[in-house]
Structure 1
């Protein structure tokens, strides 16, 4: 009888332990990957079997947003659950001098509550592997200062010297996933939070000959031509990214951790513009049907892939066309699932999306807001105003001086060519007040004189006028 009681107690203890096990989290963030750059999002040529598998085993969101159209502020929003402008992160971190001139901080304050710092005291092992870019390129705290037990990026503040090494860039995802697999293996018996932020497909890409082979048919001069085409370079880099994510998924399966792990895959912003400097090959990324690219607040600059998987908790094979999810939702949702209470002093701008992740599609309870204080290079058709707000299916754009007001029904007008502002004056007034009130809450700072214009002025010349036909369907997408 005593042995039976002991066996029963041991069984109950095992069951209680299993029931109390907190979920693991893996957050994979690609760099400059567009909404339409994956097979599961409809790309006709790029092969991404592992991310397609992730979508089949989880839920794919068609309305997943980042909270900025470039890297540093977008990453801040995921990491803190707050709009990046609250932390004076308006654009990408560059040199200290450039940051100061743009009214930016030099790095995200390590004292700001973030995913790693909040989960670590709750028993989580924490790791950041890959690109960081939450500080100045020439300095700033290392990721370890933010609560990470392990940092596998070789970086300090910015993209890091290794990111500029041609050999390293081609092998970067492989090396990052190697580190991720080691971290997961080491911490398989405790809950963990892992950020895996890749460098690709951000320019400059330098795929190896072996990586290029599957896309040799896209070489403009034929397969024997000595120079790879832009399509060949970009497509092969995305497929290589996919292959190594597949290695990570397989590693979780072998360790028996797949069912205990919530995975989010996304991108920091939309695809690069083909007119930007050394980014010619990255500029062929796809924003799907949307107007706008990186740096733009039009949909193509901020609507990105969003795939989650958590077997047994997240519906498999679901495509959620209803829910509007954003980067700022990640922190409060992770803390909810981990049973971690947010500090009373930390007010997230995001929502807890636990119900949405578990299959209960719904509308947001709060609007989403964006700002961009700088001129936008590249194709003028993608140059958006400085402020944007989405509430329901409506998306309003305007500048702080109330110029260039544009209103779109995002559900019915994916290309944002039919400006309905003149037909909806009451709606424009209501959304304008919300956007302008939010803008006034933000820390003050300089704005580029070319910001919010379709044709930015050339230095030394008169200020360019806003295009009066913006968004009225009088110009077709290039």
Structure 2
């Protein structure tokens, strides 16, 4: 009889009933007998790394020539690069809601950034089921390091009420703008830092929070996140874990842009110090390269611990690139060949870089054109953990693609997005076609053939009225009204 591993016992003891003496004896033996370092190969570790406002063209392996990203480029060479992977939305909170719930924008609860309004509409609810909650019953330790944005400490959406065992970082999105904050959250407690922050105004917004810029800069939050992530990996190396590493790089400190003229906050400009660029451009590049270095440190750590072959690392971005640091988009062309940036429903706002690294499982040096999006992480994580995902989701596992079995990969009928800012807009992607309706529900429809026109320059709606009709029907089907999210004169 096989002696249970530590992780087996964590699962079995949750289901222990009186009289299971053999189980208790075996689990006791497992605590004293030597355990192989990667004993639990049926429950691979998962590290989902989410950059913030990183564009499709911001990495060398996606065509970037000015910003150096050698470790992420290495990750792509040793793993799989997705060329048609999409964020959950074109801005932060709803994109993360899609990621956590496996529901697209017509179904997920959080469909926009709340702004100065009621923050509960930007919070997950008790009834919302997250990826972490699906993994927890089969023995995963779940940690979020970085930015949450889906519920304050006293709300139903608070991260430790949504399946995560550990949390270190920001809860509030405006708080997360500042790379030198006065505090970060460790669990439900504030951990004070050495920074001193001047608020941008006296008016409290965004859940009572006022953004600002540091006048005394000591502790750089990104560096703290990298350290925390590596400490978590080391502490959980013998047990299955899910690490959601939600970085804030390269998001701007929007308040810093207003107060100092430079929202690209970074301790130093590094290799870009002597470039003939603006300080904002130097900062933007230095932030991305700093993140790249830390991604390399994490891959090196996994290898040194001997758990790289039992760990999937998936790297992507929450939406397209921003222009909020007062840097120059033309310096780096962050959307690459795509049209638009953050807040657009064109490809540049929602198509994002995505790299999967899992030595021995994900084929090295592969590029996939499989069309997937954030909502698919739910089904993917569940399949890897050997558990069922919740029913009635908008989620298809891309495990076959990860394992090089493209013939077994299921596809979506369509992907769907909706956006409530700037007058509102919707988008749907099906096969080679992409349709955008602006404003939502009642506006005219643009139609693009992405196989022939990745830059979305030629509107083919007039040429294909039958395809427009099909796209409109998909948008109408996908949208389920939510009383928290309405547009003027719309549903």
TM superposition score category, shorter chain reference: 0.7 to 0.9
Structure 1 position 203, deviation (Å): 0.4
2:179 equivalent to 1:179: no
- Superposition pairs for residues 366-377 of structure 1, below 5 Å? 366-375=413-422
Kept in 1: contact 2:338–2:455 (CA 8 A): yes
Partner of 1:200: 249
Where 1:422 maps in the other structure, the secondary structure is coil
Q: Which runs of 5+ in 2 are unaligned?
A: 1-29, 182-213, 254-263
Which runs of structure 2 are paired with 1:112-261 in the superposition (5 Å)?
Answer: 112-135=128-151, 141-153=157-169, 155-158=170-173, 160=175, 163=179, 165=181, 166=214, 171-204=220-253, 205-209=264-268, 212-220=269-277, 228-261=278-311
| Residue matched to 1:36 | 57
Per the TM alignment, residue 449 of structure 1 is displaced from its structure 2 partner at its CA by: 5.2
SS in 2 for 1:195: strand
1:333 aligns with 2:380: yes
Aligned to 2:86: 65
Q: Name the SS of the counterpart of 2:356 in structure 1.
A: strand
Q: Contact 1:50/1:245 (CA < 8 Å) preserved in 2?
A: yes
Distance between the aligned counterparts of 1:424 and 1:216, measured in 2? 51
CA-to-partner distance for each residue in 1:406-454, whole Å, 9 max, x for gaps?
1100111011111111111111111211112222x23245545599xxx
Decide whether aligned partners of structure 1 residues 387 and 259 sit closer, same or farther in structure 2, where only a CA change above 3 A counts: same
Matching residue of 1:471: none
What are the residue-to-residue correspondences of 1:14-93 with 2, within 5 Å? 18=39, 20-93=41-114
**TM-score, length basis structure 2:** 0.77
The size of the alignment, in residue pairs, is: 409
Question: In 2, are the aligned partners of 1:93 and 1:158 still within 8 Å (CA)?
Answer: no
| Structure 1: gaps spanning 5 or more residues | 1-9, 221-227, 377-384, 452-478
SS in 1 for 2:448: strand
Quote the residue 2:360 is aligned against: 312
Take 2:154 and 2:282, find their aligned partners in 1: how far apart are those partners?
Answer: 33
- Contact 2:88/2:104 (<8 A) preserved: yes
For the residue of structure 2 that corresponds to 1:111, the secondary structure is coil
> Hey, what's the Cα distance between the residues in 2 that align with 1:282 and 1:24?
39
Two-structure CA RMSD over aligned residues (Å) = 2.8
Question: What is the CA–CA distance in structure 2 between the aligned matches of 1:185 and 1:306, rounded to whole Å?
Answer: 25
Cα distance in 1 for partners of 2:446, 2:40 equals 51
TM-score, normalization by structure 1: 0.79
Sort the Cα spacing of 1:170 and 1:427 in 2 relative to 1 into closer, same or farther, 3 A: farther
Q: Deviations over 1:111-151 (max 9, x none)?
A: 31111111111011110000111136996643111111111
SS at match of 2:444: coil
Which residue of 1 is the match for residue 3 of structure 2?
A: none
Write out per-residue CA displacement over residues 341-393 of structure 1, whole angstroms, 9 at most, x where no aligned residue: 124xx4220211111111233672320011112207xxxxxxxx611111100
1:395 aligns with 2:416: no
Tell me whether 1:427 sits opposite 2:473 in the alignment.
Answer: no
Q: Structure 1 CA distance, aligned partners of 2:364 and 2:343?
A: 33
Deviation of residue 94 (structure 1)?
A: 3.4
In structure 1, the partner of 2:395 is 350
